[in-house]
Structure 1
Amino acid sequence: MNTRHQPDLSTRPRVAITLGDPRGIGPEVTAAALADAEVAAAADFVLVGPDALLRTGAGDVSAGAWTAADGPAAAGRVAGEAIRIAVGMALAGKVDAIVTAPIEKNAFRAGGWHYPGHTEMLGELTGAPDVVMMMAAERTALGGALRVVLATTHLALRDVPAALSADLLVRQARLTADGLRRLWGIAAPRIALCAVNPHASDGGLFGDEEARIVEPALAALADAGVAARGPIPADTVFTRAVRGEFDAVVAPYHDVGMAAFKTAAFGAGVNVTLGLPFPRTSPDHGTALDIAGTGRADPSSMKEAILLAVRLARRFDRAADRD
């Protein structure tokens, strides 16, 4: 494992990019994104990944040197080590933000990293008391911006009701409002709490989570000065957000939020972790092991992730100075 730092220009942010699972498309979409003139001019970059994937120029980064013989466990092990190194650099002030290429979760676990995904690992490595996963797209197929927070992330659907609580929704909504203020510059963020059940349970006909969890969370958020509304059914809340009624939607579980988000913004979406002591972004796609090395991988989301990380790094510094 090595790192490579491009020439230091003190006026530009420094961004670490982890190459993800070396069998996947992370290395090649990173190379393609860094070859883009807009991206190359935006910051200085540190590539973090297996030695075999680090070359003298960004255009030479490829997964070709990583053969199938290395296996999933080895791929998962180096993918996790890259994350660990990048976090250490960010905590030490050596980089201003982190962009992470995709990992393959089974390989990640086989490699010895017992986390459901990036979000949980980043939270533990930084000691952050709470982190939240936000999917953000400033442009969508429907025109307007869409930002979706996942109150619960990588859980089986059967485990979601037990994991949800009013306290969890309050913490996530407050982190979201703070992130929108500090990083997006939205002075008075408007948050929507998506319902858990169809039609927001229709007064209890289809479940009690709205009355038992969401409504107490809304009362607590009002007391805390957070502008939040809900519970709003999943079949309307995302459209209302894209039309500008809300700055972010807190979705109760992974797929209700991600299905809506990727339908509206696939290729333009970026995963942002809020609550960390530095900005972290990643593209909105997976490792795509089936097309790695074929030249078919689309680098659009990686480009968006890098550019957003640069913008957030600049805003994060200014916000920290004011605190």
Structure 2
Amino acid sequence: MPLPLAVTSGEPAGIGPDITLATWLRRRELDLPPFYVRGDRTALAARARALGLKLDLADVDVDEAAAAFDRALPVVATGTSATALPGRPDDSSAAAALASIRHAVADVVAGKASAVVTNPIAKNVLYRAGFQHPGHTEFLAELAASGGKVPQPVMMLWSPQLAVVPVTIHLSVREALAQLTTELIVATARIVVADMRARFGLKAPRLAISGLNPHAGEDGTLGTEDIDVVAPAIGILRNEGVAVRGPLPADTMFHPAARKTYDCALCMYHDQALIPIKTIAFEDAVNVTLGLPFIRTSPDHGTAFDIAGTAKANPSSLIAAIRLAARMAATKKT
């Protein structure tokens, strides 16, 4: 029996519980791989009642989760209770969400689960509780630290139609420009290439790298960063044998014909990458963290407090995240 996926609870007042319950109920119809929730069974049972769902929840140890999956949604306790009502985060929210992430990562590191699939967290709720990281991605990198060295996490948004990576992530535009360097572009691209080979099964990934400025700088007339910062990175990567094109004007990179020419687009800042994929594949895009010693995927949406507990949440992105995590885990073993 394959190792199950560890699914985190996410923000307990958000839609994470809703989409997790809905996904498990469709497990046979969609032929989903076994997964379990790291969280609070009492909180999940309360959400199921609020949604009017009839299903069984099983308190299990990690080793029992895969065997229990077909008959009941396996829940592996974290020891931290979640008392928040739908749409109303409370003092238990941050502790419950973070405990779930820590335990799920520990399960994968211990070889008891094949990958981590994280439900959405509310960063503003975590910040009020003293959370020190810009987001999920950076927290996972800290949990992956070995010998005091924290790996560089790379955020990929993946869908069947398009995969994108922002070189700078959760920064203001001003700060993103200040931190963008040739070295950062090269390091990010190397991680993307390595993981696309090891975890996506692509022997020779093709990268398209956007320019920073409009029209990729128009030969320096709209800014010299594409000449001084981006182009040297592309030269280094080409010398290493990477199939790479750029710097390309970002406004012409994402139409259907252009997307056929590359496997992943590297963009210079957050919105340059995320606007196109969320336009093209809003419901089935998956957030993937590259550069970690374990596999992590996540739905590409937030906590949606306004619809939590209403049965309006769409589980499509979580389903896609579960399927992609299982695919990456299987690819890694081959």
- Shorter-chain TM band: 0.7 to 0.9
| Alignment partner, residue 311 of structure 1 | 327
Which segment is superposed worse, 191-200 or 203-212? 203-212
Q: What is the letter of the counterpart of residue 189 of structure 2?
A: A
Do 1:20 and 1:26's aligned partners in 2 also have CA atoms closer than 8 Å? yes
- Deviation at residue 73 of structure 1 after TM alignment: 4.6
Gaps of 5+ in 2: 46-55, 58-71, 76-81
**Pair 1:241–1:228, CA change in 2 (3 A):** farther
Q: Count matched residues.
A: 301
Q: Give SS of 1:238's match.
A: coil
Do 2:87 and 2:306's aligned partners in 1 also have CA atoms closer than 8 Å? no
- Deviation at residue 298 of structure 1 after TM alignment: 0.5
Q: What is the aligned counterpart of 1:16 among 2, 6, 9?
A: 6
**Pair 1:209–1:66, CA change in 2 (3 A):** same
The answer as to 2:238 corresponding to 1:216 is: no
Task: State TM-score, norm by structure 2.
Answer: 0.84
Q: After superposition, give the CA deviation of every residue in 1:43-65 in whole Å (9 maximum; x if it has no partner).
A: 3322112353244426799xx96
Q: How does 1:269-308 map to 2 (within 5 A)?
A: 269-308=285-324
| Alignment partner, residue 197 of structure 1 | 213
Q: How does 1:15-34 map to 2 (within 5 A)?
A: 15-34=5-24
Do 1:76 and 1:107's aligned partners in 2 also have CA atoms closer than 8 Å? yes
Q: What is the letter of the counterpart of residue 52 of structure 1?
A: T
The answer as to 2:121 corresponding to 1:99 is: no
Q: Give SS of 1:273's match.
A: strand
In structure 2, distance between residues paired with 1:59 and 1:120: 29
The answer as to 2:153 corresponding to 1:131 is: yes
**Pair 1:75–1:239, CA change in 2 (3 A):** same
Do 2:14 and 2:87's aligned partners in 1 also have CA atoms closer than 8 Å? no
| Alignment partner, residue 78 of structure 2 | none
Gaps of 5+ in 1: 1-9, 139-144, 319-323
Do 1:16 and 1:98's aligned partners in 2 also have CA atoms closer than 8 Å? yes
| Alignment partner, residue 244 of structure 1 | 260
In structure 2, distance between residues paired with 1:131 and 1:224: 21
In structure 2, distance between residues paired with 1:155 and 1:73: 27
Q: After superposition, give the CA deviation of every residue in 1:200-229 in whole Å (9 maximum; x if it has no partner).
A: 111222222211210110011012211111
Q: What is the aligned counterpart of 2:130 among 78, 95, 112?
A: 112
**Pair 1:155–1:174, CA change in 2 (3 A):** same
Task: State TM-score, norm by structure 1.
Answer: 0.87
Aligned-residue CA RMSD in angstroms? Answer: 2.3
Q: Give SS of 1:85's match.
A: helix
Do 2:12 and 2:93's aligned partners in 1 also have CA atoms closer than 8 Å? yes
Which segment is superposed worse, 158-167 or 237-246? 237-246
Q: Give SS of 1:290's match.
A: helix
Q: What is the aligned counterpart of 1:67 among 85, 97, 101?
A: 85
Kindly, what percent of the aligned residue pairs are identical? 42
In structure 2, distance between residues paired with 1:96 and 1:71: 30
Do 1:13 and 1:314's aligned partners in 2 also have CA atoms closer than 8 Å? no
Q: After superposition, give the CA deviation of every residue in 1:84-128 in whole Å (9 maximum; x if it has no partner).
A: 111111111111101000011111222232111111111111025
In structure 1, distance between residues paired with 2:42 and 2:288: 28
| Alignment partner, residue 5 of structure 1 | none
Do 1:146 and 1:241's aligned partners in 2 also have CA atoms closer than 8 Å? no
- Deviation at residue 70 of structure 1 after TM alignment: 7.3
Do 2:157 and 2:288's aligned partners in 1 also have CA atoms closer than 8 Å? yes
Do 1:13 and 1:313's aligned partners in 2 also have CA atoms closer than 8 Å? no
- Deviation at residue 238 of structure 1 after TM alignment: 1.9
